[in-house]
Amino acid sequence: MTNQKQGSLVCVGTGMRMAGQITPIAQSYIESFDVVVAAIPNIFTRKWIMDVSKEYICLNSYYEDMKIDGKDRRDTYRRMADTILMEMRSGKRVCAAFYGHPGIFACISHMAIADAVAEGYSAHMEPGISALDCLVADLGIDPGSRGMQSMEATQFLIYHRLIDPTALLILWQPGIAGELALKKLETNEEYLQVLVNKLARTYTLEHEVILYEAATDPLEKTRIDKIRLGDLPHMQLKQITTLVIPPAKALERDQSIIDQLNAIAAQRGQVQQAA
């Protein structure tokens, strides 16, 4: 029987708005584990973690790495994951905290957990409240009513993706769309125009879209700006801005499938009567 290595890792989320959005189990890990390693942009959340944790290591300064020639976001994320793993390998119970959900647009947590498990350590992730959860609540959207597609904006740009105009489309991080060098956390009008041009293959430029930003503290307002798709390049976007594109077409019934289902139902009804 293989002995479990000393040291462990759990990745938790603090929610988008910490007050009331952090789960009890995430809070218990933050308060009880030996060290909390975190990349949290909100200063109020960082202050709270510093106050309640036994030891706190902030990863935010690591983003300065991107100013170094030859380094990009992937190098920064790898260094963050390595810092988490270094603490775990020293025998500590490590809680890695991320805003929102720790597994959504958070490659650091996935890298750290995969490496920890491969090395024989106990490591897992706890779910958190993500920007998508806030979006659904703030916009009053039910993804189950028409279906939903979701993808990162640059990924949508540079790959062939099939868009269903009868469903909701969510493009994450349009504020850094087209930034292939992974050196900046912003985009420009030219890149956004390329994004609009590709979307125009499916939607008209008059189609109403929504720029959404979840509020991250009690003093901040949720951003819900409804604009024409064609106006997107001229709008101010942040890294946290999400582009929400409502359905542009009605659902079309597939009558041949409906007929097959009705035939099966009728046949089963006859069998049940015969039995």
Q: Which residues are tagged catalytic? A: 73, 77, 99
Whether residue 214 contacts residue 17, with contact meaning beta carbons closer than 8 Å, is answered with: yes
Q: What type of residue sits at position 63?
A: Y
Report the C-alpha gap between 168 and 145 in whole angstroms.
9
Q: Are strands 93-98 and 56-58 parallel, antiparallel or unpaired?
A: unpaired
Q: How far is the C-alpha of 170 from the C-alpha of 242, rounded, in Å?
A: 7
Length of the chain: 275
Residue pair 195/224 in contact by the 8 Å Cβ criterion: no
- Nearest Cα neighbor of 98 from 88, 89, 107 is 107
Could you tell me which of 216, 210, 220, 215 has the C-alpha nearest to residue 242?
210
